[in-house]
């Protein structure tokens, strides 16, 4: 395991010894928006939500889940009709990512968030395998490694639209891959090539692990945020990633964050 920090986390804004990336939208929707929808259609309002959440949670990067945004876009009847015009594997994903109107909206959204949150921006999207599984109308058995590699090329082409945006890293999310067969890491090589070209760090996430460029991190599970007296897990990786559960109690969340901060001070003193 490589324990040196990813470059974009080398000088964490929080001052923690172990940087923290927080996936907080479900929690923020309940606590800050009082259950109202995430304002995906209003880049300024979304940026304000992130800044409000960051003021409370003090993460060391902005994690923007573009996969969630594109799930909203995919519900548009115009896009639905276009995506379902053919049933072959990959057609729906290629149509979704190739839509010029959706692409322009996504770039505007990302640029606005990047320009206002003032933290390194991590774009989280489903991995090609997961995105293919989410959009394919057939069974997961249809999705072999060749089709996943084709999907990776579609995703790589789409990422080029963000060339002029200040992106620090891309995080491929495997958690929603469903029953799609596993693929070797080189199936995602087209995305890796784009990341190298734009000097973005490339990461991979699943339920129990996370890494950026071979630098492994620790995943803090839901139980850490839901218990009243939960010890800070032993530090193993170079950073921590966590998803705040929607039903977490704000006072408990703040207490657990304080525990992380104290743990970082103690670790840094050793």
Q: State how beta strands 20-23 and 62-65 pair.
A: unpaired
Q: How far apart, in whole angstroms, are the C-alpha atoms of residue 152 and residue 150?
A: 5
Where residue 69 falls (left for φ over 0; alpha for ψ -120 to 50; beta otherwise) is: alpha
Mean pLDDT, the chain, rounded, equals 92
Say what the pLDDT of residue 64 is: 98
Q: How far apart, in whole angstroms, are the C-alpha atoms of residue 97 and residue 90?
A: 11
pTM (predicted TM-score): 0.93
Q: Quick check: 105 and 69 in contact, CB under 8 A?
A: no
Tokens 């492994």 identify what position?
Answer: 216
pLDDT confidence bin for 145, thresholds 50/70/90: confident
Q: Quick check: 172 and 131 in contact, CB under 8 A?
A: no
Say what the pLDDT of residue 228 is: 81
CATH number attached to the domain at 7-269: 3.20.20.210
Q: Cα dihedral angle (263, 53, 125, 78), rounded to 10 degrees? A: 170
Q: How far apart, in whole angstroms, are the C-alpha atoms of residue 104 and residue 114?
A: 15
Give alpha helix (H) positions in the chain: 25-31, 43-57, 66-73, 77-83, 91-98, 100-117, 128-135, 145-159, 189-198, 222-226, 250-269
Say what the pLDDT of residue 264 is: 58
Sign for the CA dihedral angle at 245, 209, 232, 12 comes to: negative
pLDDT confidence bin for 1, thresholds 50/70/90: very low
Say what the pLDDT of residue 87 is: 87
Listed in sequence order, the residues at least 6 apart from 251 whose beta carbon sits closer than 8 Å to its beta carbon are none
Q: How far apart, in whole angstroms, are the C-alpha atoms of residue 6 and residue 217?
A: 10
Say what the pLDDT of residue 3 is: 58
Percent residues over pLDDT 70 in the chain: 96
- Whether residue 265 has pLDDT greater than 60: no
- Whether residue 268 has pLDDT greater than 80: no
**Domain parsing of the chain, residue ranges:** 7-269
């Amino acid at each position: 395991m490589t324990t040196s920090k990813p470059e974009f986390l080398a000088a964490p804004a929080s001052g923690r010894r172990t940087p923290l990336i927080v996936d907080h939208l479900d929690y923020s929707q309940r606590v800050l928006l009082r259950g109202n929808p995430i304002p995906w259609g209003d880049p300024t309002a979304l940026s304000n939500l992130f800044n409000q959440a960051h003021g409370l949670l003090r993460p060391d990067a902005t994690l923007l889940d573009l996969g969630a945004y594109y799930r909203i876009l995919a519900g548009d009847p115009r896009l639905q009709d276009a995506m379902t015009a053919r049933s072959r594997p990959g057609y729906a994903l290629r149509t979704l990512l190739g839509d010029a109107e959706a692409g322009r909206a996504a770039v505007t959204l990302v640029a606005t968030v990047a320009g206002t949150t003032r933290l390194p921006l991590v774009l989280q999207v489903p991995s090609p395998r997961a995105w293919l599984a989410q959009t394919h109308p057939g069974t997961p058995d249809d999705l072999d490694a060749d089709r996943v590699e084709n999907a990776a090329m579609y995703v790589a082409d789409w990422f080029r639209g963000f060339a002029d945006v200040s992106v620090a890293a891309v995080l491929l999310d495997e958690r929603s891959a469903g029953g799609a067969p596993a693929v070797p890491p080189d199936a995602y090589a087209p995305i890796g090539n784009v990341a190298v070209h734009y000097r973005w760090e490339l990461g991979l996430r699943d339920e129990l692990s996370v890494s950026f460029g071979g630098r492994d991190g620790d995943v803090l599970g839901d139980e850490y945020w839901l218990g009243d007296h939960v010890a800070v897990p032993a530090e193993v990786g170079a950073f921590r990633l966590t998803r705040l559960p929607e039903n977490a109690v704000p006072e408990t969340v703040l207490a657990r964050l304080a525990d992380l901060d104290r743990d970082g001070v103690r670790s840094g003193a050793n």
